[in-house]
Amino acid sequence: MQADHQADYIVVGAGSAGSVVAARLSENGRNRVLLLEAGGSDRRLAILMPAATMLLAITNPRYDWRFMAEPDPTRDGREDYMPRGKVLGGTSSINATSFIRGAPEDYNGWAALGCRGWDFETVLPYFRRLEDYEGGANEYRGAGGPLSVSHIRSVHPLSRALIESCVKAGMTFREDINLPPQMGVGYMQASQRKGWRHSASRAYLWPAKGRDNLRIVTHAQALGLTFEGARATGVEYLRRGRRRRATAAKAVVLCAGSFGSPQLLMLSGVGPAAHLREHGIEVRHDLPGVGENMQDHAGISQTMWVNHTTYNVQTGPLSAMVYGAQWLLTGTGPGSTPIAQVCGYRRCDPSKSRSHVQYLFSPAGYDLTEDGPEVFEKPAITGLTNLHRPYSAGTVRLASADPLKQPAIQPNLFADERDIETLILGSRFFRTVLESEPIAGYIVGEHLPGKDVQSDDEWTDYIRAHAMGVYHPAGTCKMGHDPMAVVNDSLKVHGLEGLFVADASIMPTVVSANLNATCIMIGERAAELIPASA
């Protein structure tokens, strides 16, 4: 097949990392960079207005891959909805805009596992480089970078009340939740500029689109990789019903995410040999770790009915008109809010130095269901209690050799009982917060889990029935040097040439944070490492 495009580097996926890699590799004006994205334009109201995402983008096939997980045997067969962005910017275009970097111990833990050059001291300059933090630069924060990181522009009264109750319950108030140590409670920081979503695409690709050496092809779904011997030479993809091919003189970089990157490797004959043979795929390189080690943050909702207006009841036609105009003209109001306005971290074991759970509080009533987010019709507040540092892990496998079919995603969210024990401890504490003034004065009833959930057994039953991964999948092409590692310290696929992975899938362990900031950092780091190793 004759190549439709020839480039030095092909980047597959224009998400949080892929947008960065493509933009940075093309900066020098010499590298010919081809960026393939299965979705389309991100210049849409559903993307640019942060609060519109839950209503208009998530579950919308125009912007969302709409992945569904396999029935999870550790949760009585529950099937999770798993949104992933199918649009320029990837999931950074449909996420909650939360900007959290994780704890230094996360990255020092990677280094302790043998991932050289990924300790916190080494990655911190890349975090500082990527951001334009509204609070200004210091030894931990950056200013003048591509990505705008902002404070909340319109804080809801119930968010203030929740923080006061957290402090009364013993949590420390943090002015900047991204400064070490990762502990206490504070207001969320958001990847926004003047109240508008500032995705990886808007931060990196919009300024780069005019470069002659960067070609961005949308509606281009990758089907598989091409090889000459052990070297990756290109990508076959589908666009407008036609199978096409692009070649790479230097490297192919997979940035298709924790589901897409392992799927593409396996479709191309790179992965666990026995599994590939089951689907009639010729084994090019037996790499048993591909698709293993899938980690997510297990979380549960704690939802209260309240006597104060909340954002979930401000979604009717009149509210949409009023608040839409406010957002459009001033970048403030409900339209500008990230889904969570408050973020907290807590140790469940006082003898430990690191947090075990994350609390995300929203002045809106919703639940994360098997069909996606469900917004309630009367005033409510929602707290997510999310498990960090999980012991459990799942897998991503091929459901079919057809590249247009979604992969088989098995979360195994509670394969290790210790994860349930930690969630119980974290959830009990959050209930104590909600029973404390001043937030308790607004609460008129507990919807989830309900007052009948009290004992450890009742909490366990509730968690198994209602918990889900909170849309933070990672680790399925993990970095390292053990037999199950997929990429090395330079993100190069073990045993192959000219092939790299740069996205959340390379995390050896999932970071204790929402993933977007870390993925952008990975993109920044990859753009330096790949040319030196290609």
pLDDT in tens, 95-129: 999 999 999 999 999 999 999 999 999 999 999 99
- For residue 266, the Cα-to-chain-centroid distance in whole angstroms is 22
User: Per-residue confidence at 241, pLDDT binned at 50, 70, 90?
Assistant: very high
Residues annotated as catalytic are 472
Averaged pLDDT, 193-211: 97
Query: pLDDT > 70: what percent of the chain?
Result: 100
Closest to 162 in 3D by CA, of 55, 260, 276, 308: 308
Closest to 268 in 3D by CA, of 293, 247, 286: 286
pLDDT in tens, 125-149: 999 999 999 999 999 999 999 999 9
User: Per-residue confidence at 1, pLDDT binned at 50, 70, 90?
Assistant: low
Closest to 255 in 3D by CA, of 457, 505, 72: 505
Closest to 504 in 3D by CA, of 491, 64, 495, 353: 491
pLDDT in tens, 141-173: 999 999 999 999 999 999 999 999 999 999 999
- Are 17 and 25 within 8 A, CB to CB? no
Averaged pLDDT, 472-491: 98
Question: What was the pLDDT predicted at 201?
Answer: 98
Q: For the chain, what is the total number of helices (H) and then of strands (E)?
A: 13, 27
Question: What was the pLDDT predicted at 24?
Answer: 98
pLDDT in tens, 358-408: 999 999 999 988 888 899 999 999 999 999 999 999 999 999 999 999 999
> Strands, DSSP E only, in 13-113?
33-36, 67-68, 81-82
User: Per-residue confidence at 413, pLDDT binned at 50, 70, 90?
Assistant: very high
| Rounded-to-integer distance, Cα 122 and Cα 253, Å | 22
Query: pLDDT > 90: what percent of the chain?
Result: 94
- Are 28 and 207 within 8 A, CB to CB? no
Averaged pLDDT, 234-262: 98
| Rounded-to-integer distance, Cα 457 and Cα 429, Å | 17
- Are 383 and 302 within 8 A, CB to CB? yes
pLDDT at 418 over 90: yes
Average pLDDT, the chain: 96
pTM, two decimal places = 0.97
Which secondary-structure segment (H or E) carries 62?
A: none
What domains lie within the chain, and their CATH numbers?
Answer: 1-148+197-295+396-414+472-534 (3.50.50.60), 153-187+298-387+416-466 (3.30.410.40)
User: Per-residue confidence at 350, pLDDT binned at 50, 70, 90?
Assistant: confident
Question: What was the pLDDT predicted at 352?
Answer: 74
- Are 95 and 19 within 8 A, CB to CB? no
pLDDT in tens, 511-532: 999 999 999 999 999 999 999 9
